[in-house]
Amino acid sequence: MQDPIAVIDFGSQYTQLIVRRIREFGYFSKLYQPGDLRETGSPPAVILSGGPRSTLEPGAPDIDFEYLRSLGVPVLGVCYGMQLLNLKFGGQVAPGHTREYGPAALLVRAEDGGVLFEGIRDHSQIWMSHSDTCRMADAAEILGENLDGIPVALRWEDNFYGIQFHPEVSHTDEGRKILRNFLKLARDPQEFRIESFKDHLIERVRAEAAGRKVVCGVSGGVDSSVLAALLHEAGVDTRYLFVDNGLLRKDEAAEVEAQFKTVGIEIETVDASARFLEVLAGIDDPEEKRRRIGRLFVDVFFDAVGDDVELLAQGTLYPDVIESATSGSIASTIKTHHNRVDRIMELKAEGRVIEPLDELFKDEVRDLGRALGLPEKVVARHPFPGPGLAVRCPGEVTVEKLEIIREADAVFIGLLRDRNLYDRVWQAYAALIPTKTVGVKGDERCYEYALSLRAVTSEDAMTAEWAQLPYEFLAEVSNRILNEVKGVNRVLYDISTKPPASIEWE
């Protein structure tokens, strides 16, 4: 494979979005730390991201500028990246009179806009996030200004560009066009098509497995399902294990087994529901619940497969790699050290863990699943938390509460599918409110639980908006739950955004 377009991460909250945008345009891109510039190989282009720090600070992130110039490829500095380039070309950076955060205007100098602003309106909205301004050296050309006449787009030499705004965010009206224009300058960039990338991943799996027996934990979720399908397609000898922790949705264990059978994958189910309910008895602290579930999950997994694992497959995704997390793996819910968690780390240190999806974002994993022939119902499935319904059951987890959540959730999700609304939201579920309220059923006073419905829209779960579902639909869901689910006499709809609220309740 050719080397990808390199995005150098200076810490901006939007940096991952730059990589995503480039891949959406059909080119392969990866994120690198500033000190890893030489590990980029021969990238077709380099983008220096924004960041929260000032270039004026002692110890501010830097770049090997001479090596960057030696690459001879187009370079785009965004926000912090522009200020850093301005310093490298002999300019200065000074504190601004005010911090610019939010919408601003871009005025393109028509005669100087060049390739970067080709086809861009002379006046458009951009998104700022900075507190310093550039004082340019004579070598800099001004390509664009804001309404106050302050330069917000510069060019140095032939291949170096800088912009003081974020083109990767949707708030910059023509940001995608600007990024596309920059990529026109890239030197023979590698095309990114999931269909051909699938073949690369299959060869990678075969090479990493090298005839060894693979163990893969599956949950029925998108990541583990696509991982299982990839291992199956690669033809490696794999044992697929599904742990039923008793915290699943209604009929989920049977559905997962049937789901894998449709694509020719046999899985082993371990029913450990009684063990999980036992360790959760009397526990109401959310973090303690997560810890106990995570620890027991790993114990159950290794009790089933044994400690002599030749190769463990995990569904780690690219954002997890960037954030040094392990979401999607069997260790994803572990927040404290434990002997069996240490065993996973030992396996990684010994080169006995493979993570074939670690170059892909969530939406790309879904596309890979489609390319592997997985049903749409599987690849379009909403995210489901590792600790299961325990995070939707504030307070102590009991059989009674779980049954209420399961039945209500089945009504909600079933109606979302029936009314063709399921694919319009990122995630939806029913959560129990640990409070009983007074109601009237059958002409009699009742004292039952209140229930909250939650549905959000999101791109990557970092932020989320509440889904504005039709009132008529919400009324139908509420009516069905109140009539069909025992133990509930009040249904609420959660209209909190993330932040400040999280997507899940716990």
- HEC-encoded secondary structure of 347-412: HHHCCCEECCCCCCCHHHHHHHHHHCCCCHHHHCCCCCCCCHHHHHCCCCCCHHHHHHHHHHHHHH
The catalytic residue among 166, 208, 364, 448 is 166
The closest of 423, 430, 500, 413 to 465, measured between CA atoms, is 500
168 catalytic per annotation? yes
Q: Does residue 438 share a domain with residue 375?
A: no
Q: Which secondary-structure segment (H or E) carries 22? A: helix 15-24
Is there a domain that residue 391 lies in?
A: no
User: Averaged over 234-241, what is the pLDDT?
Assistant: 94
- Does 385 sit behind a cis peptide bond, omega within 30 degrees of 0 on the bond before it? no
Helix then strand then coil, % of the chain, to nearest 5: 35, 25, 40
Backbone φ and ψ of 349, nearest 5°:
-65, -30
Q: Does residue 403 share a domain with residue 373?
A: no
Model confidence band, residue 110 (pLDDT cutoffs 50, 70, 90): low
Q: Does residue 402 share a domain with residue 290?
A: no
Q: Does residue 356 share a domain with residue 246?
A: yes
79 catalytic per annotation? yes
The pLDDT of residue 351: 80
Q: Does residue 274 share a domain with residue 175?
A: no
User: Averaged over 227-234, what is the pLDDT?
Assistant: 95
Model confidence band, residue 131 (pLDDT cutoffs 50, 70, 90): low
User: Any alpha helices (H) in 212-306, and if so which ranges?
Assistant: 222-234, 252-262, 273-280, 286-305
User: Averaged over 145-164, what is the pLDDT?
Assistant: 87
pTM beyond 0.95: the answer is no
The pLDDT of residue 100: 56
166 catalytic per annotation? yes
313 phi-psi bin (left φ>0, alpha ψ -120 to 50, beta other): beta
Strand 5-8 relative to strand 46-48, pairing: parallel
Task: Give the domain extent around 208.
Answer: 194-379
Rounded alpha-carbon distances, angstroms, from residue 369 to 11, 26, 202, 227, 365: 31, 18, 13, 9, 6
User: Averaged over 426-448, what is the pLDDT?
Assistant: 88
Is there a domain that residue 452 lies in?
A: yes
The pLDDT of residue 464: 86
Could you say which of 154, 183, 212 is where a domain stops? 183
The catalytic residue among 130, 134, 168, 216 is 168
Q: Which secondary-structure segment (H or E) carries 95? A: strand 92-108
Is there a domain that residue 501 lies in?
A: no
* Residue listed under structure tokens 């891949």: 23
Is there a domain that residue 506 lies in?
A: no
Backbone φ and ψ of 409, nearest 5°:
-65, -40
The pLDDT of residue 248: 95
pLDDT digits (tens, 9 = 90+) for 318-364: 877 766 432 333 333 333 333 445 667 777 788 888 999 988 888 89
Q: Does residue 356 share a domain with residue 242?
A: yes
The catalytic residue among 79, 134, 216, 393 is 79
Rounded alpha-carbon distances, angstroms, from residue 399 to 246, 247, 389, 393: 9, 10, 11, 11
Is there a domain that residue 392 lies in?
A: no
Is there a domain that residue 215 lies in?
A: yes
Is residue 383 exposed (0-12), middle (13-18) or buried (19+ Cβ within 10 Å)? Answer: middle
- Counted domains in the chain: 3
Q: Does residue 123 share a domain with residue 24?
A: yes
Model confidence band, residue 98 (pLDDT cutoffs 50, 70, 90): low
Q: Does residue 402 share a domain with residue 374?
A: no
